[in-house]
C-alpha cells in the first residue's frame, strides 16, 4: 500500500503541475493580488510540481524532492489563504473549498515528509 501511495503522490503532483499549463485561468483567478507576475508564478509552480514529483523517483534526489515539495506547499499557503478571503468576500469561489483545502495542506506536507525519511521507493 505504501508503494501505491508513493506513486499516487507522484502522479498527483505531475497531474497538478500539468494542469497549470492546461488550465492556467483557474490558477490566475486565485493568485493573491500582492504577488507580481501572476502568469509566470502559475507556470513556475506547475514546473516545480512536475520536477519535484519526478525527483521523488530517484533514490539520490528523493529526500531533497520531498523537502522541496514541503517548501512549495508552504508557499502555496498564500494562495489558499487568498482563496479563503476571496470566498468570504463572495467573489465566486465556493466557501467550503478553501476551508477544506487549507487543513488539507498539512496532510500533503506530512505525506511528503514521510518520503523524506524513507530510503525505499
For residue 52, is it within any domain?
A: yes
Q: Residue 95 contacts by C-beta under 8 Å, 6 or more apart in sequence?
A: 87, 88
Q: Is residue 36 domain-resident? A: yes
Q: Is residue 54 part of a domain?
A: yes
Q: Rounded CA gap, 30 and 42, in Å?
A: 10
Q: Which residue has the higher pLDDT, 118 or 106?
A: 106
What's the pTM? 0.86
Q: What integer pLDDT is reported at residue 100 of this predicted model?
A: 81
- Per the CB < 8 A criterion, the answer to whether 72 and 49 are in contact is yes
Q: What is the pLDDT of residues 12-40, one digit of tens each?
A: 999 999 999 999 998 998 888 898 999 99
Question: How many structural domains does the chain have?
Answer: 1
pLDDT band of residue 121 (cuts 50, 70, 90) is: low
121 within domain boundaries: no
Specify the higher pLDDT residue, 111 or 121: 111
What is the residue-averaged pLDDT of the chain? 89
Which are the contacts of 77, defined by CB distance < 8 A and separation ≥ 6?
Answer: 102, 105
Rounded-to-integer distance, Cα 78 and Cα 52, Å: 20
Residue 74, domain member (yes or no): yes
Query: Backbone dihedral region of 14: left (phi > 0), alpha (psi from -120 to 50 degrees) or beta?
Result: alpha
Residue 112, domain member (yes or no): yes
Q: What local confidence, expressed as pLDDT, does residue 30 receive?
A: 85
Residue range of the domain that includes 108: 2-116
Residue 30 belongs to a domain: yes
With respect to residue 11, please indicate whether it lies within any of the assigned structural domains.
yes
Amino acid at each position: 500500500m505504501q508503494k501505491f501511495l508513493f506513486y499516487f503522490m507522484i502522479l498527483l503532483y505531475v497531474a497538478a503541475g500539468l494542469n497549470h499549463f492546461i488550465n492556467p485561468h483557474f490558477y490566475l483567478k486565485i493568485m493573491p493580488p500582492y504577488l507580481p507576475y501572476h502568469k509566470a508564478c502559475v507556470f513556475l509552480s506547475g514546473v516545480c510540481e512536475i520536477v519535484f514529483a519526478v525527483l521523488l523517483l530517484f533514490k539520490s534526489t528523493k529526500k531533497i524532492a520531498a523537502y522541496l515539495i514541503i517548501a512549495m506547499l508552504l508557499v502555496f499557503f498564500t494562495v489558499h489563504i487568498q482563496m479563503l478571503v476571496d470566498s468570504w468576500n463572495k467573489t465566486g469561489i465556493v466557501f467550503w473549498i478553501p476551508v477544506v483545502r487549507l487543513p488539507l495542506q498539512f496532510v500533503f506536507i506530512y505525506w511528503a515528509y514521510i518520503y523524506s525519511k524513507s530510503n525505499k521507493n
